[in-house]
Amino acid sequence: MLRLRLVVGLSLLAVGAFAALARPWERATARFAPVLTAAPLQDPGLGPGLLPVDVFHPERRPRPDGTLPPLPPPAYGGRVIVHLDAMPKSLCATIDNSGITRRILYEVHETLLLRDWETTEWKPDLSLRWEVQDRLVPKPGAQVPPPEFLIGAIRDVGDAWFVDPKPGYVSTDTPRIAKADVESVERGTVLTFHLRPGVRWHDGHPFDARDVAFSCRIYENKSVDCGEIRQRFLKVEKAEILDYLTVRFTCARQYFNALDTLGDMCILPAHLYDLSDPDNEDGNRMRAANPGWTPGEKEEARYVNENPHNRDWIGLGPYRVAQWTSDSVEAVRFDGYFDPMNAGYVDTIRWRAIPDSDAAFQATLNGELDFFPRMSAEDYFGGSTQVQAFTERFYKGYFYTPNYWYVGWNLYRPQLADVSVRRALAMLFDFEEFKRTFYKGLAVQVTGPGSVYAPGYDRNLKPLPYDPAKAAALLDQAGWTDHDGDGVRDKDGVALEIELLTPPNDKVGTAFGSKYQENLARVGVRLRLTGVEWAALIERRRDRNFDAVALGWSPPLESDPEQIWHSRWGGKDQRSSNFVGLQDRPVDELIDRGQRELDARKRAGIWQELHRRIYDLQPYLFCYNSPRKFAMSRSIRGFQIVPLDPNYVIRRWFYPEGTPGTRPKLAASAAGDRASEKGK
């Protein structure tokens, strides 16, 4: 009997071992097999957002005549389970402005303005309309009208400024202020938002101007745990409630990002977060017990930082948070949502956190996830997606995000201070080979900072070519030759030796580093690869205790380049995102100019000039942008890739009509059939 058990046990062990070996074998053979290059379904040059809905879905493959099969009619109801890399720390973006938190808030909350998913232009959301006005700053002691009359469209009329409070309706009372009395004209610094009436929070409380003003003022309280985002809001000098549904913000100085900052601000329910709000129960209780009580700054901050609603979020979106477990957040349809036309099709969205991407892929195969956007190239191109468990229920695809990978050079290191050396190092990166072997063709090379889809990214700039001979010549010219015959170039007693830090378990970084190491060794540059634990890596980078570091940025469509490139943050003792220590006057001037430029087109020109200047200086080896590879349930339709984070819109996803558990109409009480509404 024991023998039989042992035989069975050993057989199971043998099968397990075979299964274990099968994958490496499969991977090994894949390496020697003809390279499987992805069809160029998506032109990275065009960017996302221009592709049809469900472009990768097997039932949307083009017909022989080139037309696409129509989408099935959508039904309402059902649930989708979406993968997350980690659980959000909080759902309050004031406190945790991470990508994970924002991804959930897109569905459970709303902002004053919303960027159109396709065109990326701002459009109304909680704010039905908005005005951006100029402000005239008088000299101290100057005899000028009250501040209220110094706001409007300000025009230059020779020796005076003309303040038009309502452009197009010029009145005789419009003040003219002598230029001698004026210190500066701050363009676009007064932003007024007219809020949508009848909007209610998930707990039924009405939304009004108090919520908006409080949400901005909260950043002034230094004890509130708002993180890095506070800096942006400190540029807002004043938040005034003009009436129940009108809020006006005044910025201290002209700043290009003012509308983005306020339009995208996380609005908090004042009745739940503000102890001074007349509808706040905790504040009222304290006042009842002690009539003279007013909350101190620390007390207010603690109330926000430790507010239970940071998890049990009360928002304004079409879905409300219903459950939070140790590894998932679930949101269900909110019937009181103000815009039924934009309320989403599915009834329930669950975000499930599975940090390990291999485990997440297994969970996908098990049907535990409907959408998994973090597939490795091995799984994507390998046999894992050929198994029945995958092909029957899922399809795969990819989309480009604004991410880019780079190697940051420490410009304080003598071997990396010379721009010729950095240009030579850039010419030793064989992107085409790396793209072919590691990414199977799915990657684009980047030439500078910022999103490759941003208007400020100069797409005419060509990457420095892979040219070892030219790189060697550049190093020779710069005086880096092998003086001591040890096989490594040197200059003034310093060897051209670089330690490249990579994050732990970073397969991409290690593969890139190994290949790059070989290329550098051929021209006498020694590259040492060091995998460093994440906390130690951040510390070494912060202390500028590194030669080179391989990391990635995920910038928004347009961000302020000051922290990452301005000399102000590049000093040796400075600790900032400018950890490479770039200090360049033309770069500073471009950033200062761009920050004050309010015209988006002109600003894009400035950022493109900045891009070219940074390209010339090569403070980073700008590597590549690789698309995110995803697995999506075949049952879910309406998947569209859009240019804005997170590059997909869950509220557009639907199950086709006739799917069990769905219904043809949104709800009897709501706006009715969306299709019929659209048809009217």
Are residues 541 and 514 in contact, defined by beta-carbon separation less than 8 angstroms? no
Query: How is residue 340 written in tokens?
Result: 């039924």
Minimum CB–partner distance for residue 380 and another protein (Å): 14
Minimum CB–partner distance for residue 544 and another protein (Å): 13
Are residues 51 and 118 in contact, defined by beta-carbon separation less than 8 angstroms? no
Query: How is residue 23 written in tokens?
Result: 């994958």
- Binding-site string for another protein from residue 380 to residue 419, where x marks contact by CB under 8 A and - marks none: ----x--x-x-------------x----------------
Print the SS3 string covering 375-393. Answer: ECHHHHHCHHHCCHHHHCC
13 touches another protein (CB under 8 A): yes
Q: What share of the chain is helix, strand, coil (3-state, %, to 5)?
A: 35, 20, 45
Minimum CB–partner distance for residue 635 and another protein (Å): 14
The correct pick among 62, 355, 465, 586 for binding another protein (CB under 8 A) is 355
The Cα 212–Cα 56 span in angstroms is 41
The stretch among 150-158, 554-562, 612-620, 658-666 that binds another protein (CB under 8 A) is 554-562
C-beta closer to another protein: residue 384 or 640: 384
Per-position b or e across 269-300, b if 16+ CB within 10 A of its CB: bbbbbbbebeebeebeebbeeeeeeebeeeeb
Report the DSSP beta bridge partners of residue 132.
191
The correct pick among 246, 376, 420, 563 for binding another protein (CB under 8 A) is 563
The stretch among 33-41, 58-66, 95-103, 494-502 that binds another protein (CB under 8 A) is 95-103
16 touches another protein (CB under 8 A): yes
The Cα 189–Cα 595 span in angstroms is 13
647 touches another protein (CB under 8 A): no
Question: Among candidates 246, 265, 254, 261, which has minimal Cα distance to 195?
Answer: 246
The correct pick among 60, 155, 200, 230 for binding another protein (CB under 8 A) is 230
The Cα 348–Cα 80 span in angstroms is 7
The correct pick among 51, 114, 354, 520 for binding another protein (CB under 8 A) is 354
Query: How is residue 328 written in tokens?
Result: 């998932």
Burial class (CB in 10 A: 0-12, 13-18, 19+), 481: middle
Span 57-86, contacts to another protein by CB under 8 A = 81
Minimum CB–partner distance for residue 539 and another protein (Å): 5
Are residues 506 and 531 in contact, defined by beta-carbon separation less than 8 angstroms? yes
475 touches another protein (CB under 8 A): no
The correct pick among 311, 491, 526, 612 for binding another protein (CB under 8 A) is 311
Helices (H), 557-599: 562-565, 585-596
- Binding-site string for another protein from residue 423 to residue 462, where x marks contact by CB under 8 A and - marks none: --------------------------x-------------
15 touches another protein (CB under 8 A): yes
253 touches another protein (CB under 8 A): no
Minimum CB–partner distance for residue 556 and another protein (Å): 6
What is residue 116's DSSP assignment? Answer: -
The Cα 448–Cα 458 span in angstroms is 8
Minimum CB–partner distance for residue 35 and another protein (Å): 24
C-beta closer to another protein: residue 139 or 222: 222
Minimum CB–partner distance for residue 279 and another protein (Å): 22
The correct pick among 69, 145, 147, 227 for binding another protein (CB under 8 A) is 227
571 touches another protein (CB under 8 A): no
C-beta closer to another protein: residue 338 or 624: 624
Burial class (CB in 10 A: 0-12, 13-18, 19+), 547: buried
Burial class (CB in 10 A: 0-12, 13-18, 19+), 475: buried
CA distance readout (Å), 618 to 29, 430, 460: 38, 16, 17
The stretch among 207-215, 261-269, 313-321, 559-567 that binds another protein (CB under 8 A) is 559-567
Are residues 91 and 313 in contact, defined by beta-carbon separation less than 8 angstroms? yes
661 touches another protein (CB under 8 A): no
176 touches another protein (CB under 8 A): no
Minimum CB–partner distance for residue 176 and another protein (Å): 39
Span 267-306, contacts to another protein by CB under 8 A = 298-299, 302, 305-306
Minimum CB–partner distance for residue 561 and another protein (Å): 6
